[in-house]
Structures are given as C-alpha cells and as structure tokens.
C-alpha cells in the first residue's frame, strides 16, 4: 500500500489524471523529474514578475523588468536546473530571448502599474471538499469588484476544448483563498504570456467552486483507491513523449514508437532520448 500524500496540488492532480503510473514514479517512488527548458524559462519569468509586482506601482515598467532580469540572471545561470539543460551559447541566447518574450508579454495583457497587488507567490493550504489542498498563487489583486486571483502561464494557451480544464485551477485557488480569508475572490485570471499572449478569465461563484472542488475530490478518491490497492495503471498518450519515466515504462515506449511511426510524435520530444 502506497502512502497518501499530505497535500494535493493542482499539478499533482493533473499528473495523476494524465497517467497514474507517472504520478506514482514522481510522488511515491520519488524518481527524479528534472524540469525541461520550458519549465526553467517559466520559473525565471515568474521570478522577474514576482519581484516587479512587489515594487510600488509606478516602478513596474518594462525598463525595471529588464533590470531585474539582468540582476537575477546569474542566480538562474548558476542554478542546477539551468546547468542540467546543458545549452550551448546559441541556445542560451535563445533561452534568454524566450524568457524575455514571456516577461514582456505581460504588458500586452495589462499595465502592471495600474494593478493593485495584494500579494505575490502566496502559499496557500486549505481543506477543499475534504481534500488537503496546497498551492502557490502567483498574484492576488484588489479590484473595484473584489479580489482577483491571477496566474501566469508561459506555455501555449489551451485549445477551446481545454479552456474549462485550465480555468479549473484558478477556481480551486480562489476557493482556497475564500477558505482562508472568508471572502471568495470575484475573478480568476490566467495570463498566457509570450507571443501567443492571451487572457482567460472567469467570474468566481459558489456554484463554480462547488463544481471544481467536487471534481478535485473525485480525483483524490481515485488516488486514494490507487494507493490503497497499490494499483497505478499506465495511461498512454501524446504526453508519453514528455515523460521523464519513459525509459522504464514498456507501455510508454510502445506508444512513443507507434506515434513516431505514424508521424504523430514530435521528433524533438525529450523522451525519445530515453528509449
């Protein structure tokens, strides 16, 4: 029997839903899951925007963001995550450019000098429908209509059919803020930064919170069942190509090869290096 985690995050729930076996390798076996380039770019961009939004509103300019990026670059450059990417000089330049496009993308969606920021990188834990939830909220803002939960994304925006799934995360964050403060935020916002910048927003309501927390609890129940029975099935799909455990997963390897042969797997998928 595998031990249940003390807390359940949105990303852990997403991983379990994508593939229970991958979740087990990550959270039970605690096998390494090194961040890829996109994740390290995202971490750097988030850090710059966190420092920027902690400053007084008038200082939140593009020039200030550039200065922050320059100041904290050595911290990233010398970090183990960046070093493990093993990028040559040209690729490092591309990395910095991708990060800057994401950072600058914020101004395409809002003027940060006009935002009333209450907190950044707020760690929050709450019991949501009996599930021990934990998350980190990129930004909590005060608006004329109440508080707004804002989350930055540096990946591609979701296709229309996955929009509600993406917004589900922000509804759970809002629910946790509501539990902690007694006041439910009125708005949830996902800011997709970068060249395909896009804002997705949702009006938070008690009904929506109930729907999202019930879904979250449903995933938690399935996870409990998996842990009790030590049964973590594989669930193959296109994301096997980005799974760090493909090298030890027979089903995943078969799936990757099948997709590759059919031209349905990107030839730069990182897992190709593992099989």
CB 81 to ligand SF4: min, Å:
21
Torsion, Cα of 161, 98, 169, 173 (10° steps): -150
CB 10 to ligand SF4: min, Å:
18
Strands 146-153 and 187-192: parallel
Q: How far apart are CA 213 and CA 172, in angstroms?
A: 7
Residues comprising the chain, all counted: 275
CB 3 to ligand SF4: min, Å:
20
Nearer to ligand SF4, 19 or 49 (CB): 19
Nearer to ligand SF4, 136 or 239 (CB): 239
Find the angle CA(218)-CA(221)-CA(223) to the nearest 5 degrees. 110
Nearer to ligand SF4, 19 or 176 (CB): 19
Q: How far apart are CA 218 and CA 200, in angstroms?
A: 25
CA distances from 275 to 15, 87, 232, 257 (A): 21, 22, 21, 9
Nearer to ligand SF4, 22 or 60 (CB): 22
Strands 198-203 and 187-192: antiparallel
Nearer to ligand SF4, 79 or 238 (CB): 238
CB 24 to ligand SF4: min, Å:
8
Let me know: does 174 contact 209? Beta carbons within 8 Å: yes
Question: Which residues of this protein are in contact with ligand SF4, per CB under 6 A?
Answer: 19, 21-22, 234-236, 239-240, 243, 245-246, 249, 251-252
Nearer to ligand SF4, 22 or 139 (CB): 22
Residue nearest ligand SF4, CB atom distance: 252
CB 205 to ligand SF4: min, Å:
34
What residues contact 134, with CB distance under 8 A and at least 6 apart? 7, 8, 9, 123, 124, 125
CB 257 to ligand SF4: min, Å:
12
Find the angle CA(72)-CA(157)-CA(246) to the nearest 5 degrees. 80
Nearer to ligand SF4, 70 or 258 (CB): 258
Phi and psi at 137, nearest 5°, equal: -95, 120
CB 240 to ligand SF4: min, Å:
3
């Amino acid at each position: 029997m595998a031990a249940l985690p003390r807390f359940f995050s949105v990303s852990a729930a997403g991983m379990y839903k994508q593939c229970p076996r991958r979740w087990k390798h990550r959270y039970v076996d605690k096998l390494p899951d090194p961040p890829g380039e996109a994740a390290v770019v995202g971490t750097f961009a988030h850090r710059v925007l966190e420092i920027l939004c902690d400053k007084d509103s008038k200082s939140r300019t593009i020039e200030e963001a550039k200065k922050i990026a320059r100041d904290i670059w050595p911290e990233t450059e010398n970090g183990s995550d960046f070093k493990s990417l093993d990028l040559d000089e040209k690729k490092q330049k591309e990395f910095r450019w991708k990060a800057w496009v994401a950072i600058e993308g914020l101004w395409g969606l809002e003027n940060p000098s006009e935002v009333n920021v209450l907190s950044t990188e707020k760690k929050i834990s709450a019991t949501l429908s009996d599930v021990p939830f934990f998350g980190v909220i990129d930004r909590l803002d005060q608006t004329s209509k109440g508080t707004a939960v804002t989350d930055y994304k540096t990946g591609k925006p979701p296709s229309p059919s996955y929009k509600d799934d993406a917004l589900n995360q922000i509804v759970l964050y809002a629910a946790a803020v509501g539990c902690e403060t007694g006041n439910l935020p009125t708005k949830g916002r996902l800011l997709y930064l970068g060249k395909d910048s896009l804002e997705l927003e949702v009006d938070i309501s008690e009904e929506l919170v109930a729907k999202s927390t019930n879904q979250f609890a449903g995933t938690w129940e399935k996870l409990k069942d998996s842990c009790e029975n030590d049964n973590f099935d594989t669930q193959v799909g296109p994301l096997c190509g980005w799974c760090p455990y493909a090298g030890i997963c027979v089903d995943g390897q078969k799936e990757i090869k099948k997709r590759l042969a059919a031209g349905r797997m990107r030839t730069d998928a990182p897992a190709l290096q593992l099989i």
